[in-house]
Amino acid sequence: MLRKPWLHFLLLGLLLFVGGQWLFPEPRPVLGPPNPERLSAMVENYTRFAPDGVSPALFERFIDTELRDELLFREALIRDLQYRDAAVEQRIIRNMRFLDANTTATDRELVEQGYALRLHLTDEVIRRRLVQIMERLIMATRLNPVPSNEAVAARYEQELDSWREPARYTFSHVFLSTERVAEMPALTAQINAEKLSPDAARLLGAPFLSGYTFRRQSPEQMTRVFGAEFAEQVSAAEVQAGSWIGPVSSVFGQHYVYIEAFEPSRTLALEEVSLRIERDLVREGEERAVVDWVEEAMAGYEVRRS
């Protein structure tokens, strides 16, 4: 067999092919540089709420996000996911009718025309949709076991402070505006002397825009309605269900407050929050699966950040 010329040529060709693949590997596809318009939009959106501007480290994270989304978008196109989603088709139909409001083409014809015009490659809504679909596909195809009881308990202990429930107050109040606060001593005396119910006592006061009865309010919730001074005074008072406290000051005036029920601050038990913790752990596992997948896929690209 070694004397046959055709075998020599075959072996030589095989060696040349393998050597060529090793010496001159096929170039990897290029990912990036990031789209400058999208980066500018990220910076603009962020600076609306952060006047100090975008730090260099944060800008690098914006670049990472743009490259990640571009990778997922490309991988979605490679898998033809755009042809399997009704929302993408409806977006193309809408765009086509916007381009020609008088068209008589059917929806199916408009979809075909839109793909021919490559609208799915330039529409930002479709791009975001395909990125989301690709994320869900990754989550669905990667094993993400249900968190064990031990993992749930460990997270509970780790975040014990976050499971602290604030005190909650269920109360009614009688209100007097700033102009009438001088009347408050006489009003409270009448309420106490006649042992008026909260509903009857309310008729002695002034109208209050936000209402008169509030259920299971935390100090933070009271602050949003009445202001910090009101919440601090109620929280500092020795409250007892079925009793009046006050007068209590607020940004609006003064209030005589009837405590209907009081729930002291407490730490929620593991049994009360286990489902929430489990959902958090599952979500984190899904996010981690996407991150790992992106890192693996990005290794197959030549990444250009600028």
Mean pLDDT of the chain: 91
Q: In terms of pLDDT, which residue wins out, 50 or 193?
A: 193
pLDDT digits (tens, 9 = 90+) for 145-197: 889 999 999 999 999 999 999 999 999 999 999 999 999 999 999 999 999 99
24 φ/ψ angles, rounded to the nearest 5 degrees: -130, 70
Cα–Cα distances in Å, from 13 out to 1, 31, 85, 94, 237? Answer: 17, 34, 46, 55, 92
Q: How confident is the model at residue 231 (pLDDT cuts 50, 70, 90)?
A: very high
Instruction: Please check the confidence at residue 5 and state whether its pLDDT lies above 70.
Output: no
Its pTM surpasses 0.75: no
Q: What is the pLDDT of residue 41?
A: 92
Ordered domains of the chain (ranges, CATH)? 36-144+290-303 (no CATH), 165-265 (3.10.50.40)
Q: How many C-beta neighbours within 10 Å does residue 167 have?
A: 15
